Structure 1
Amino acid sequence: MENQSPDPPSPTSTASRRLLVTGASGFLGWPLCRAAQATWQVVGTCHRHRPPLPGVALHQIDLSDLGNFSAWLETLAPDAVIHTAALSQPNRCEQVPELSHRLNVEATRVLAQFCGDRSIPLAFTSTDQVFDGQTPPYTEASRPSPINIYGRHKVEAETLIQALHPAAVVCRLPLLYGPPSPTAECFLQGFVRTLEAGQPLHLFTDEFRTPAYVDDVAAGLLLALEKATGLLHLGGPERLSRYEFGLQMAEVFGFEQDLILPSKQADVAMPAARPPDVSSNSDRAFKLGYRPRGVEAGLVASRHQT
Structure 2
Amino acid sequence: MQKLLITGASGFLGWHLCQLAKQNWEVYGTYFSHPIEIPNVNMLKVNLTNFQELKQIFSEIQPQAVIHTAALSQPNYCQSYPKQSHAINVTASGNIAGLCADYLIPCVFTSTDLVFDGLNAPYKETDSVSPVNLYGEQKVIAEQEMLVRYPKAAVCRMPLMFGAATPTATSFMQPFIQTLQQGKELNLFIDEFRTPVSGTTAAKGLLLALEKVNGLIHLGGKERISRYDFGRLLVEVFQLPLAGLKAGYQKDVKMAAPRPSDVSLDSSKAFELGYQPLSLQQELEAIAKSQSQQ
TM-score, reference length from structure 1: 0.93
Cα deviation, residue 255, structure 1: 1.5
Instruction: Give how far 1:71 is off.
Output: 2.7
Counterpart of 1:218? Answer: 203
Output one character per residue of 1:223-246: Cα deviation in whole Å (capped at 9) or x when no partner.
110011110000011000011111
> Equivalent residue of 1:129, what SS?
helix
Measure the CA separation in 1 of the matches of 2:57 and 2:19.
23
Residue 267 of structure 2 is matched in structure 1 by 282
CA distance in 2, matches of 1:206, 1:224: 31
Asked whether 1:142 is paired with 2:135, we answer no
Query: Partner residue of 1:246?
Result: 231
For residues 205 and 259 of structure 2, the distance between their equivalents in structure 1, rounded to whole angstroms, comes to: 26
- Conserved in 1, the CA contact under 8 Å of 2:157 and 2:217? yes
Count residues in correspondence: 291
SS state at 1:28 partner: helix
CA drift at 1:52: 2.9
Match of 2:12 in 1: 27
* TM-score, normalising length: structure 2: 0.97
SS in 2 for 1:87: coil
Is residue 45 of structure 1 aligned with residue 30 of structure 2?
Answer: yes
Q: Does 1:122 align with 2:107?
A: yes
TM-fit CA distance, 1:304: 2.6
CA distance in 2, matches of 1:228, 1:72: 25
Match for residue 164 of structure 2 among 157, 179, 186: 179
Q: Is the 8 A contact 1:66 1:106 kept in 2?
A: no
- Give 2:180's aligned amino acid: L
Cα shift readout 1:119-177 (whole Å, capped 9, x = no counterpart): 11000000000000000000000101001010000000000111011111000000000
1:296 matched to 2:281: yes
- The residue type equivalent to 1:30 in the other structure is W
Percent sequence identity over aligned pairs = 47
Which amino acid in structure 1 is aligned with residue 76 of structure 2? Answer: N
Q: Which has the larger radius of gyration?
A: 1
CA deviations 1:221-271 (Å, max 9, x no partner) are: 001100111100000110000111111111111123232111011221100
Q: Distance in 2 between matches of 1:305 and 1:276?
A: 32
In structure 2, the residue matched to 1:264 is 249
**Who is 1:83 aligned against?**
68
Give the partner amino acid of 1:270: M
Q: 1:96 aligns with which of 70, 73, 81?
A: 81
1:215 Cα deviation (Å)?
0.2
Whether the 8 Å CA contact 1:147–1:273 is kept in 2: the answer is yes
Once residues 181 and 219 of structure 1 are traced to their aligned partners in structure 2, the CA distance between those partners, rounded to angstroms, is 17
> Do the aligned partners of 1:44 and 1:59 also contact (CA within 8 Å) in 2?
yes
Q: Please, which runs of 5 or more residues in structure 2 have no aligned partner?
A: none
Separation (CA, whole Å) in 2 of partners of 1:42 and 1:216: 19
More displaced 10-residue stretch of structure 1: 135-144 or 296-305: 296-305
Find out whether 1:67 has 2:67 as its counterpart: no
Are the counterparts in 2 of residues 213 and 293 from structure 1 also a CA contact under 8 Å? no
What is the alpha-carbon distance in structure 1 between the residues aligned to residue 58 and residue 264 of structure 2? 35
Are the equivalent residues in 2 in contact too, given 1:20–1:42 (CA < 8 A)? yes
- In structure 2, the residue matched to 1:11 is none
- The residue number in structure 2 matching 1:9 is none
CA contact (8 A) 2:11 2:70 kept: yes
Distance 2:267 2:178 in 1: 32
**CA offsets, 1:164-214, max 9 Å, x none?**
111110000000000011111011000011001001100001100000011
- Aligned with 1:231 (options 195, 205, 216): 216
Which amino acid in the other structure matches residue 283 of structure 1?
A: S
Q: Aligned-pair distance for 1:70? A: 2.4
User: Does the CA contact (< 8 Å) of 1:24 and 1:45 recur in 2?
Assistant: yes
Query: Structure 1 runs of 4+ off > 6 angstroms?
Result: none
Q: Deviation at 1:62?
A: 1.4
Aligned partners of 1:123 and 1:225 also within 8 Å: yes
